[in-house]
Structure 1
Amino acid sequence: MSAGEKAKAKTEQVVGKAVKKTAHAVGQDTTAAKGAALEARGEARETKEKTKDTFKR
């Protein structure tokens, strides 16, 4: 996995989780859903990169 893509995936996961938790605390359901989507996108990116690495070997 390239270092840049790995960092981008982790960043999306961390930011998404922070947005989700903050929005839930404040009571903003729409923003919490956007944070959850961002977190899921980061997890999908990480899975994609791991799959690419698996087939390279």
Structure 2
Amino acid sequence: MAKNDSNDTAPSGPAVSEENLLKLSKEVAVKFIEVGRITPASFPEDFKRIHAAIRAGIEKDKA
């Protein structure tokens, strides 16, 4: 068997565009709406928190 002589560093995942981040945040928000965790009145603040949490998670994974 041939040994892989690649770098020992872990590959960094593909960059996540702002568009993809927004789409993912929207999908999470929609699921929360479906189960009744988000209401129209609370949507603006809840979406900001969802978006920030996903962004933080992605940035943490890159570090």
Assess same fold via TM > 0.5.
no
TM superposition score category, shorter chain reference: 0.3 to 0.5
Q: Per residue, is there more helix in 1 or in 2?
A: 1
Q: TM-score, structure 1 length as denominator?
A: 0.43
Larger Rg: 2
Identify which of structures 1 and 2 has the higher relative contact order when contacts are C-alpha pairs closer than 8 Å and 6+ apart. Answer: 1
Q: TM-score, structure 2 length as denominator?
A: 0.40
